[in-house]
Structure 1
Amino acid sequence: MNKLYTKLELLYSRITGNVAFYPSLIAFMGLALGFLMSYAEQQGISKYLIDTVPALVINDADTARTLLSTFIGGIFSLMVFSFSMVMLILNQASSNYSPRILPGLIANKRHQVVLGFYIAVIIYCIIILLSIEPEQSKTQLPGFAVLIGIVLSIHVLAAFIYFIHSISQAIQINNIIDRIYNVSRHRIQQLIDTESDPKGVAVFNDSDSWQSYTTKFSGHLNDIALDSLVDFCNEHSCKVSLLVPKGSFVLDSTKIVSVNKDLDEEAIEALRSCFGFSRSEIVKNNYILGFKQLTEIAVKAMSPGINDPGTAITCLDYLTELFVLRMQKRDNSFVTDKDGNALVSLRTINFEEVLYFIFASLRQYCKEDFIMLHKMLQSLRYLSTSDALKDEYTEDIINQVQLIIDDANQFIKNESDLAILNKVASEVQAS
């Protein structure tokens, strides 16, 4: 039963995260509204309205068919135009910024709702158009349903205007960076808020000798059914330690989890069912991807083809804020039972790894640019003086400062520039 519940939980997560989920749901609502109005017309709603409020009813069959046919063709044209424009914008974003940001733009729920509304109105108009017969009398004509179609079509025009405004805002680099930052910040804050002081964590210090189990799938580990893992641990009286971080790409037959006892085949399958894999990365599930995306945008901005140091500096400002927030999070995470006992140890990417790989990418592509090297040192100086700084992170920051100075000494030839960089570096090391 737990295995079935876990599969349903992971299936629900995948379905609701699919780009087609909201358009399909709204399109189904349009289908349901069409049949509902057809039923209402059979019950005589138009006849009642002709007798009470005749101005609300379309009482000519040719006019009704012409209107509905025009709406269907017009909305099809708007939909094709809208999403042809989306494809062009996505291509531009991929070329100018980073291909990694495309899933976030495509998964924009507001754009999905607009697409779903287009489809829903088309389906509704088709159903009502099919219900109009050539020889129908005024009282049999679905006049009120046609009026609803007119109202919905007017709203389609409003949705189209909103869509044009929204997509033009979404593609602006400042808004892209801000969205990535906000999603990452929200995810880190969630993890910080849920941290506690669990009991019995010492047992995980010996997890290297535990029995390891592999996965039968490959892809990004985006979904972990933590409640099901806790139930699994309680049911089998065991402890579980994850060997790969959430969001990492896992190859088939890779060891992803270790358990402090041997399990039978049925238990192993139940354990594997707690993990969900997909072929795409999702920032809201993995804040590290937010760091990567901001870094890649900064690196792309510094390329000779783009040459946009302002964007790179903005990305570094946002990265600095995320690093300050990341310093408040513990490097070890555990999932506990209701009594606070640690049952599951989550593999996390520690602060040193995040700091090193982000600044390594920036150093590689910005090592000849004085402005970016100076900005990177200023960022590290801010981290070194932050109230969130922990003692164990001080050495990591100083190591990055030294690496930047080493690159500067090798690639910056101007003595005045080197003097400024060394001054900032000495301030960081002194703090």
Structure 2
Amino acid sequence: MKSLYNRFISFINTIRGKIAFYPTLFSFVGFNFAMLMLYLEKEGISAFVIEHVPQLVINNADTAKTLLSFLTGGIISIMVFSFSMVMVLLNQASSNFSPRVLPGLISNRNHQFVLGIYLATILYNTFTLVGINPQETDKYQLPGFSVLIGIVLTVICLGAFLYFIHSISQSIQVNNILDSIYKKAKKRLDQLIEKESENVPDFPDTSNWISYHSSETGYFQNIAKSNLIDICEKENIQLKILVIQGVFVLEGIPIIQVSKEIDEELVKDILSNFNFSRGEFVEDNYTLAFKQITEIGMKAMSPGINDPGTAISTIDYLTELFALRLKKNDRTIFTSDDNERSLIAVTTIDFKELLYQVMVSYRTYCKHDLSCIQKLFIMFKYLLLQQAHLPEYQDALQAEAKLLYEDSQTTIQNATDLRRIEKLYQSLPNVRN
């Protein structure tokens, strides 16, 4: 039962980033609320309201039908306009920034809530409209109170539409996109750092372990950690996950290593706790934030856009994320409940490789721009002054700073600029010439 629950929660975490997730839930609520109100109308709720507050209830069937039809048509119009704006937003974000930011924009919960309110109100008004019998002449038999609620929901839709216009205009601004990516990555890194334990038992050598292959294709999103730990303890095995989170996995490649041979049924049980998707989300994999922010910076430095200011802003956000990453261990190991035995080793991208992949892009596209080079050296100076979890992190920072210095020396010709770069490089703590 626990295993099914954990898989269900993991599945929900995967699909809630889809643009139709919350609108579908709201639609279900709107339909059921309409059914509830039809039931309450049969119990005489409108008659009760008419006796106490008659001014609030519409007691004419034709007026009620015309009003609900008009309101429903209006909501459909603004919903179509809202969907059109979402498409324009996604197209502009893909063109100006990076296609990788699209999953984050699509999964914006506030926009999904607005679209869900539209759909729920449309369904509610439609089924309330069906419940009006034009042959009824008795005002006590008309669903007047349900019509009143439909009017209130429509007013809420209008307010949601105004909020949607404001929010969508803010979402396309590059600073807001960068800030959103940064906050998601920071939250994820804080969670991982908090869960790390200093006294993690050593994980054994896995060179002679048995490998098992993936049965699915897609981006490796996450795992049902609790389920896998339970399986390891129950079967007395240890696992090593071979693929890095966020990597596109092809069917048939090695995905896990197990400390002993296991049957096919157990392999299927283990792999059923791996979540794959065709999209990528920073909430599941913080390294995607580094990739997305870097790509926005590179797009800004392309000849067609040529926006060093945006590139400098991306460096500021990367500086904060790298400073946080310095506090995290390169290895990720899950232990038993008593923390006495290592059960699962997860292959992760180490700090040196992460820094290199980011800097190789900036060195390629920004080495001719002095403002970006200065900002990168300021980043290195700041990071070298931070306390690192491992001494290898400092070595990686110094090595990348040296590569940046060498590239800038071969690209920039102005003697004054070269002296400034030399001064910045020499000001780095413990610089190695």
Please classify the TM superposition score into its range, dividing by the shorter chain length.
over 0.9
Question: Could you tell me which residue of structure 2 aligns to residue 317 of structure 1?
Answer: 316
1:212 matched to 2:219? The reply is no
The 8 Å contact of residues 245 and 349 in structure 1, kept in 2 or not, is answered as yes
Q: Which TM-score applies when normalising by structure 2?
A: 0.96
The 8 Å contact of residues 198 and 334 in structure 1, kept in 2 or not, is answered as no
1:12-411 equivalent positions in 2, closer than 5 A: 12-136=12-136, 137-203=138-204, 206-340=205-339, 341-388=341-388, 390-411=390-411
SS of the residue corresponding to residue 208 of structure 1 reads coil
Report how many residues are paired.
429
The 8 Å contact of residues 327 and 387 in structure 2, kept in 1 or not, is answered as no
SS of the residue corresponding to residue 94 of structure 2 reads helix
> Counterparts of 1:145 and 1:320 in 2: how far apart (Å)?
55
Amino acid at match of 2:323: V
1:411-430 equivalent positions in 2, closer than 5 A: 411-428=411-428, 430=430
The CA deviation at 1:80 is: 0.6
> Counterparts of 2:166 and 2:59 in 1: how far apart (Å)?
37
The 8 Å contact of residues 385 and 429 in structure 2, kept in 1 or not, is answered as no
> Counterparts of 1:220 and 1:104 in 2: how far apart (Å)?
16
Aligned pair in 2 of structure 1 residues 405, 389: CA closer, same or farther (>3 Å)?
farther
Deviations 1:311-357 (A, max 9, x none): 11011011011000000000111111111021111111111011111
The 8 Å contact of residues 198 and 342 in structure 1, kept in 2 or not, is answered as no
SS of the residue corresponding to residue 184 of structure 1 reads helix
Unpaired runs of 5+ residues, structure 1, are: none
SS of the residue corresponding to residue 221 of structure 2 reads strand
The CA deviation at 1:243 is: 1.0
> Counterparts of 1:410 and 1:279 in 2: how far apart (Å)?
41
> Counterparts of 2:174 and 2:16 in 1: how far apart (Å)?
27
> Counterparts of 2:165 and 2:412 in 1: how far apart (Å)?
45
The CA deviation at 1:394 is: 1.9
Amino acid at match of 1:422: E
Aligned pair in 2 of structure 1 residues 6, 390: CA closer, same or farther (>3 Å)?
closer
Unpaired runs of 5+ residues, structure 2, are: none
> Counterparts of 2:230 and 2:18 in 1: how far apart (Å)?
27
The 8 Å contact of residues 3 and 273 in structure 1, kept in 2 or not, is answered as no
The CA deviation at 1:266 is: 1.3
SS of the residue corresponding to residue 428 of structure 2 reads helix
The 8 Å contact of residues 325 and 388 in structure 1, kept in 2 or not, is answered as no
> Counterparts of 2:419 and 2:372 in 1: how far apart (Å)?
15
> Counterparts of 2:50 and 2:372 in 1: how far apart (Å)?
72
The CA deviation at 1:14 is: 3.0
> Counterparts of 1:389 and 1:380 in 2: how far apart (Å)?
16
The CA deviation at 1:135 is: 1.5
> Counterparts of 2:239 and 2:89 in 1: how far apart (Å)?
45
> Counterparts of 1:32 and 1:271 in 2: how far apart (Å)?
38
SS of the residue corresponding to residue 310 of structure 2 reads helix
Q: What is the RMSD of the two structures over their aligned residues, measured on CA atoms?
A: 1.5
Identity of counterpart residues, as a percentage? Answer: 48
The CA deviation at 1:271 is: 1.6
Aligned pair in 2 of structure 1 residues 360, 74: CA closer, same or farther (>3 Å)?
same
Deviations 1:57-99 (A, max 9, x none): 1011111111101001100000011111111121111111111
Q: Which TM-score applies when normalising by structure 1?
A: 0.96
SS of the residue corresponding to residue 232 of structure 1 reads helix
SS of the residue corresponding to residue 284 of structure 1 reads coil
The CA deviation at 1:430 is: 3.2
Deviations 1:357-397 (A, max 9, x none): 10001111112111111211111111111234742222211
The 8 Å contact of residues 383 and 389 in structure 1, kept in 2 or not, is answered as no
Amino acid at match of 1:63: T
Deviations 1:98-136 (A, max 9, x none): 111111111100000100100100111111111112221
The 8 Å contact of residues 3 and 270 in structure 1, kept in 2 or not, is answered as no
SS of the residue corresponding to residue 122 of structure 1 reads helix
The CA deviation at 1:287 is: 0.3
> Counterparts of 1:234 and 1:386 in 2: how far apart (Å)?
39
Greater fraction of residues in helix: 1
